[in-house]
């Protein structure tokens, strides 16, 4: 073993199962004995997979998904570009692949994984993914609507009003009906009583609901709501379930899709029991194209993601964000990602822009320690 390989092995030394991500390269040559094998137990310390376009981020996701599943860990991944069903098909031996495998000193046998498909709003083949409006909550809905701060807090008041009056909010039509009532002659007194919700803002919210309906969001909301327990388990063939949520035409509705992924995460957080630190996670959740989550995200929205990500670790769930630039992920979330896989960063216009800025002295980054335990009682009482 070379000294380099010794150092790499020492860095990744851990008891129990480990992922096999590749081999170290020194002075341009692959060192087959320098195995990069992060421990499976560390996968609930969350992670980031970053790199320029076409550098292999989705391939890394596939590699990790296959290996985690082989360890009976369930995997959830959202498929923005139709890349993931490939996991279901066994690969093929070829001169290039076999040559590379030999160079790495690894063994490889083509194998497919059973993949369970989920279909957002029941559109397409797979288990339908739907959420009721009340479970989705005002913060996520405000993000979907692209609501400003005033509209967002007004929406919270409407949810509270519905709660206080035991009005079930199942789908967009229910929410529309509540707003229409508040804007009607009969509801005017109630609207006034809400304090802080003007009829002008209520009108804007109503228009935004109509816009959502026009965007085709209606089938995404309502009953039956997805039971997130369906994402965790072992496939009859013995491997951890691999669930793949297909998101066709994501570019048309990025906010809607990405917010739905957050709802899934929040739902997992609320449903799963506290398990502390396990030898390996129960589920690893991959957010491919994660920049879509954070584009234009408000501070409360970012804080709520940060809080869910921090707390979900003790429920046995690991979350990996996949995006081109690490800076696509806000600092408060980045600080919690214990595993980093960095592919080549290409000079994109965004990188060039940042690097051409005059350099200011570095400011200390706020770091949230992952060892800080937060009792379940400090968990958010209300869904976000
Ligand atoms: N480790 C690898 N083994 C085999 N092929 C690879 C590997 N890494 C990258 N490739 C090749 O590069 C192509 C692009 O990889 P991939 O789709 O994973 O990139 P990406 O970083 O996810 O890109 P994007 O940001 O555009 O989504 C793949 O289709 C594959 O042909
Ligand atoms: Mg990709």
**Cα of 58 from ligand 1 centre, angstroms:** 6
**Cα of 58 from ligand 2 centre, angstroms:** 4
Task: Tell me, using a 6 A CB cutoff, whether residue 58 lines ligand 1.
Answer: yes
Task: Tell me, using a 6 A CB cutoff, whether residue 291 lines ligand 1.
Answer: no
pLDDT at 379: 33
pLDDT at 104: 86
Joined tokens for residue 223:
């009953």
Of 269, 221, 228, 263, nearest to 376 by C-alpha is: 269
The H helix count followed by the E strand count for the chain is: 13, 10
Q: Which ligand is nearest to the CA of 50?
A: 1
Q: Where are the beta strands (DSSP E) in the chain?
A: 22-26, 29-36, 47-50, 74-79, 115-120, 127-129, 242-246, 283-287, 317-323, 339-342
- Is 3.90.70 the CATH classification of the domain at 40-129+226-354+363-378? no
Distance separating the N- and C-terminal Cα atoms of the chain: 52
**Cα of 311 from ligand 1 centre, angstroms:** 32
**Cα of 293 from ligand 2 centre, angstroms:** 15
pLDDT at 83: 75
pTM: 0.84
Is residue 292 within 8 A of residue 331, CB to CB? The reply is no
HSE-CB of 376 using CA atoms within 13 angstroms: 10
pLDDT at 136: 94
pLDDT at 362: 39
pLDDT at 60: 92
Note down pLDDT in tens along the chain; length 384 residues.
Answer: 788 889 988 888 878 899 998 888 888 888 988 889 999 989 889 999 999 999 999 889 989 999 999 999 999 998 777 777 778 888 889 999 999 888 888 888 888 888 899 988 887 788 899 999 999 999 899 988 989 989 999 999 999 999 999 999 999 999 999 999 999 999 999 999 888 889 999 999 999 999 999 888 899 999 999 999 999 999 887 899 999 987 766 566 777 888 888 899 999 999 999 998 889 999 999 988 888 888 877 787 888 889 999 999 999 999 999 999 999 999 999 999 999 999 987 655 554 444 444 444 433 333 333 333 333 333 333 344
**Ligand 1: residue whose CA is nearest its atom 3:** 59
Residue of 48, 52, 54 to test ligand 1 pocket, by largest number of atoms within 8 Å of CB: 54
pLDDT at 370: 33
The total number of residues shown for the chain amounts to 384
Nearest 10 degrees: Cα torsion 100, 54, 19, 264: -150
Query: How far, in Å, are 23, 35, 87, 103 from residue 96 at the CA level?
Result: 17, 21, 19, 11
Nearest-atom number in ligand 1 for the CA of 61 is 18
**Ligand 1: residue whose CA is nearest its atom 11:** 56
Query: How far, in Å, are 69, 70, 115, 227 from residue 238 at the CA level?
Result: 9, 8, 13, 22
Going from N- to C-terminal start, the domains of the chain cover 1-38, 40-129+226-354+363-378, 133-220
**Cα of 292 from ligand 1 centre, angstroms:** 19
């Amino acid at each position: 073993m070379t000294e380099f390989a010794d150092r790499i092995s020492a860095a990744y030394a851990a008891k129990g199962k480990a992922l096999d991500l590749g081999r170290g390269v020194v002075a341009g040559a692959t060192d087959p004995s320098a195995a990069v094998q992060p421990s499976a137990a560390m996968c609930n310390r969350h992670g980031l997979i970053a790199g320029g376009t076409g550098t292999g981020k989705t391939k890394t996701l596939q590699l990790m998904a296959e290996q985690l599943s082989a360890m009976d860990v369930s995997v959830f991944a959202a498929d923005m570009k139709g890349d993931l069903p490939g996991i279901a098909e066994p690969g093929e031996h070829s001169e290039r692949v076999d040559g590379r495998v030999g160079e790495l000193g690894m063994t490889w046998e083509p194998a497919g994984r059973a993949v369970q498909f989920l279909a957002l709003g029941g559109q397409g083949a797979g288990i339908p993914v739907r959420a009721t409006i009340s479970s989705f909550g005002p913060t996520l809905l405000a993000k979907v609507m692209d609501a400003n701060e005033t509209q967002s807090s007004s929406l919270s008041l409407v949810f509270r009003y519905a709660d206080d009056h035991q009005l079930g909010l199942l789908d967009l039509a229910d929410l529309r009906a509540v707003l229409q009532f508040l804007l009607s002659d009969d509801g005017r007194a109630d609207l006034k009583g809400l304090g802080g919700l003007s009829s002008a803002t209520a009108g804007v919210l109503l228009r935004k609901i109509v816009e959502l309906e026009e965007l085709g969001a209606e089938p995404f909301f309502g009953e039956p709501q997805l039971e997130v327990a369906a994402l965790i388990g072992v496939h009859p063939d013995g491997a951890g379930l691999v669930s793949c949520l297909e998101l066709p035409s994501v570019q048309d509705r990025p906010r809607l899709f990405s917010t739905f992924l957050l709802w899934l995460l929040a739902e997992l957080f609320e449903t799963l029991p506290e398990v502390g630190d396990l030898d390996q996670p129960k589920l690893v959740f991959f957010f491919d194209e994660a920049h879509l989550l954070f584009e234009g995200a408000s501070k409360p929205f970012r804080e709520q993601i940060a809080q869910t990500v921090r707390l979900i670790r003790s429920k046995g769930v690991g979350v990996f964000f996949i995006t081109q630039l690490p800076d696509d992920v806000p600092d408060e979330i980045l600080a919690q990602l214990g595993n980093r896989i960095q592919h080549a960063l290409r000079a994109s216009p965004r990188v060039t822009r940042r690097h051409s800025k005059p350099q200011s002295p570095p400011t200390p980054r706020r770091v949230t320690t992952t060892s800080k335990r937060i009792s379940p009682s400090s968990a958010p009482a209300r869904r976000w």
